[in-house]
Amino acid sequence: MSPLQTYCQNQAATNHHLSLLWGILVWGILVSTSLVATSEEIISESPITASERNHWSFRPLQRRAVPEFETVPSARQRLDIFILSQVKKHQLEPENEALRSTLGRRLFFDLCGLPPHPRQLERFLRDASPDAYERLVDQLLASPHHGEHWAQYWLDLARYAETDGFEFDAIRKDAWKYRNWVIDALNLNMPYDRFLAMQVAGDELAPEDPQGRIATMFCLCGPDMPDINSQEERRHNVLNELAATVGSVFLGLQIGCAQCHNHKFDPVSQADFYRFRAIFEPAVQIIKNQSLHALAETSTSISPNYLMVRGDWRRPGPEVQPAVPRIANPSENPLHIDKLPNSTGRRTALAAWLTQADNPLTARVITNRLWQYHFGKGLAPASSDFGSGSQPSHPDLLDWLARDLVQHGWNLKHLHRMIVTSRTYRQKRASAVKSIHDPENVWLSYFSMRRLSGETIRDAMLASSDFLSSTRSERGVMPPLPEELRKTLLKNQWQVTEPMASHYRRSIYVFARRNLRYPIFDAFDRPDGNISCPQRDQSTTAPQSLLLLNSTLSLEAAQHLAGCLLRQHKNIDEPTFQEMFQRVFSRSPTPLELETVSRFYKIQVDLLTAEARNTKSLALPIPFPTKIDPYMAAALTDVCLAMFNSNEFLYLD
């Protein structure tokens, strides 16, 4: 045999052996996968330890005594004593109360998301009665604008949008009904325990009321791919996302991290996740090529629920029974489930458990959220993650407020009122020295300035010129978009709404598309609706300045403000600028500011006159009074645009 023949024979033998080994390996993988997929193995999970139960967020709500503190004459609410004790402990001094005009602007924006009209602010400033501030708070809490403003915070948590997302981003024709349900619930001051229960089990709790089913749209607000080939995979993804969102929003637990394996940090097992998911499984109905709508159970027959091995929808493992996370269930009592006429009753049982006395999380979580929205930061910094990594700055105050909320029937407006009437809330912003000693304002010795959201900026621009429409919307309004943005969408995905007057409704009614956010919302950090957002980012970027200075929205708002001023004033002089300051900043200008604005106005008049442009190309006020020189009128628009581009307009002091 030649060397060549020997080599070829040896190579053939080697290839045969490699093929055999490869076949054995593939066979082994297939067999092991099959064994796992059909395994009836017992769930193995570590028991909850005493140390884990002793974590601050998992302990029962404590009966916290108000601290004994010597100097409390300035305290307006008992919560102030908790704050003042820590301020003194850290050798700080609380700031004095802010100016009344500052407090008026702060209250209007904080409770209703709108600037005060000059006449409203003037009435407040002239009211010398001792309870003038408290009466203004009550007036704003009773305003329909309150729900329109605060609903946006909840819609961020609910990952609300009016489309599915992904490639086709199809419209969910009834999504707006959930948005309006949230607005109405907050305006009616629906108790939080009811508000929460309706979103989990409204169809079971109020089967004859269509609003009950609409409320459950919270659970299915997330992104979805209706045209995916495997509808079983789609259902698995929807259920996982649903369970993770309910856990993070209501319980402040990132249980979604346990979809594929036990949580790396918190005492939440993979079995905990799938037990919790099982509560919702009978209510999620998937139909190919149809968008998600609301929860609905079509039968009381119960299909088995399984833990999915490594989170793989094709690999059902051990069977699990519906239950709540063990760490949030200190009594270790099973979920008490009673079958209902047309459903399993699992979600009604969950709704009851979420607000029962021994649940340590629900009241703490919503209390912390409201505190965060008023002060910019929660008492516990991670408002949707009360796990092992977070520590509250004022744990005693958090528990005291949470217990007070429950004792007052889960009344959210009661909690709002207590917070905004407190001395802590009414402080002025920090001095330079205070900023150095407590730069993050951990101990709340001053009021932290914060930037307005994109929605509030837009609303304030329109409201300052009396041009904001108070009309309520059903399906979201689609104002005009820049052509370069419209080209990024599929055909007919953004059809401008008629009539034009609808374009000036509040921002919460602007169409919420998952794949494209309205430009000013996008620039100022609105979330995309793909995941629950407990706290928005606050970036500072060049596009924000470019948009405020150059966008059609900003220019039209400035034109409307200039037109509003010219309706009230025949001449463009100091009284005109005085009112402009009142409308935009909710205060009177200083002499230096009046001089600066007047000088800028005159410079603009000279420039525009020298250019001698055709008046049709000028940014004239809307409406334009023909008796005034057009170059002077256009210069006033420029001044108004400059006001909208100032930091004072964008930040809440």
pLDDT at 30: 40
- CA 547 – CA 518 distance, rounded (Å): 12
- CA 280 – CA 344 distance, rounded (Å): 10
Q: pLDDT of 391-404, one tens digit each?
A: 999 999 999 999 99
Among positive and negative, which fits the CA dihedral 226, 232, 234, 238? positive
309 vs 9 pLDDT, higher one: 309
Q: pLDDT of 447-484, one tens digit each?
A: 999 999 999 999 999 999 999 999 998 999 999 999 99
Pairing verdict, β 651-652 and 450-451: antiparallel
Q: What six digits make up the tokens of 451?
A: 């930037």
- pLDDT beyond 90 at 446: yes
The 3 state secondary structure assigned to 485-529 is HHCCCCCCCCCCCCCHHHHHECHHHECCECCECCHHHHHCCCCCC
pLDDT at 43: 86
Q: Label residue 31 by pLDDT band (50, 70, 90).
A: very low
**Cβ atoms of residues 222 and 242 within 8 Å:** yes
Q: pLDDT of 498-510, one tens digit each?
A: 999 999 999 999 9
- The alpha carbon of 170 is separated from its chain's Cα centroid by a whole number of angstroms, namely 23
Strand partners, 451: 651
- pLDDT beyond 80 at 410: yes
Region of 165 please: left (phi>0), alpha (psi -120 to 50) or beta.
Answer: left
Q: Where are the alpha helices (DSSP H) in 96-216?
A: 100-112, 118-126, 132-141, 144-157, 175-187, 192-205, 210-215
- CA 324 – CA 359 distance, rounded (Å): 11
pLDDT at 28: 44
- CA 547 – CA 306 distance, rounded (Å): 50
Q: Is 457 exposed, middle or buried (0-12, 13-18, 19+ CB in 10 A)?
A: buried
Among 224-238, 297-311, 461-475, 493-507, the range scoring the smallest mean pLDDT is 297-311
Q: Label residue 25 by pLDDT band (50, 70, 90).
A: very low
Question: What is the H or E stretch that residue 316 is in?
Answer: strand 316-320
Q: Is 184 exposed, middle or buried (0-12, 13-18, 19+ CB in 10 A)?
A: middle
**Cβ atoms of residues 596 and 606 within 8 Å:** no
Q: What six digits make up the tokens of 353?
A: 């458990």
Residue 141 to residues 189, 412, 653: CA-CA distances in angstroms? 9, 10, 20
Q: pLDDT of 544-581, one tens digit each?
A: 999 999 999 999 999 999 999 999 998 999 999 999 99
SS3 437: helix
Q: What six digits make up the tokens of 68?
A: 């004994």
Residue 340 backbone dihedrals phi, psi, to 5 degrees: -105, 165
In the block, which residue shows the tokens 């508000």? 195
Q: pLDDT of 47-56, one tens digit each?
A: 999 999 999 9
The C-alpha torsion from 570 through 571 and 574 to 580, rounded to 10°, is 60
Q: pLDDT of 135-191, one tens digit each?
A: 999 999 999 999 999 999 999 999 999 999 999 999 999 999 999 999 999 999 999
Q: Label residue 234 by pLDDT band (50, 70, 90).
A: very high
Mean pLDDT, to the nearest integer, of 317-322? 96
Mean pLDDT, to the nearest integer, of 327-345? 91
Q: Label residue 298 by pLDDT band (50, 70, 90).
A: confident
Cβ neighbour number for residue 591 with a 10 Å cutoff: 7
Mean pLDDT, to the nearest integer, of 266-289? 96
- CA 352 – CA 569 distance, rounded (Å): 60
pLDDT at 388: 75
In the block, which residue shows the tokens 């409320």? 215
- CA 566 – CA 572 distance, rounded (Å): 8
- CA 399 – CA 420 distance, rounded (Å): 18
Residue 57 backbone dihedrals phi, psi, to 5 degrees: -80, -20
Residue-averaged pLDDT of the chain: 91
Intra-chain end-to-end CA distance of the chain, in Å: 95
Among 34-43, 302-311, 493-502, the range scoring the smallest mean pLDDT is 34-43
- pLDDT beyond 50 at 41: yes
| Residue of 401, 426, 425, 421 whose CA lies nearest to 411 | 401
Q: Where do the domains of the chain lie?
A: 50-94+361-450, 95-142, 191-354, 552-652
Q: Label residue 297 by pLDDT band (50, 70, 90).
A: very high
| Residue of 532, 509, 531, 507 whose CA lies nearest to 520 | 507
Most confident of 68-77, 238-247, 474-483: 238-247
- CA 116 – CA 398 distance, rounded (Å): 31
pLDDT at 71: 57
- CA 480 – CA 486 distance, rounded (Å): 9
Pairing verdict, β 316-320 and 305-308: antiparallel
CA gyration radius, the chain: 30
| Residue of 181, 161, 163, 180 whose CA lies nearest to 172 | 163
Strand partners, 262: none
| Residue of 339, 241, 253, 354 whose CA lies nearest to 292 | 241
Residue 513 backbone dihedrals phi, psi, to 5 degrees: -95, 135
- CA 232 – CA 212 distance, rounded (Å): 27
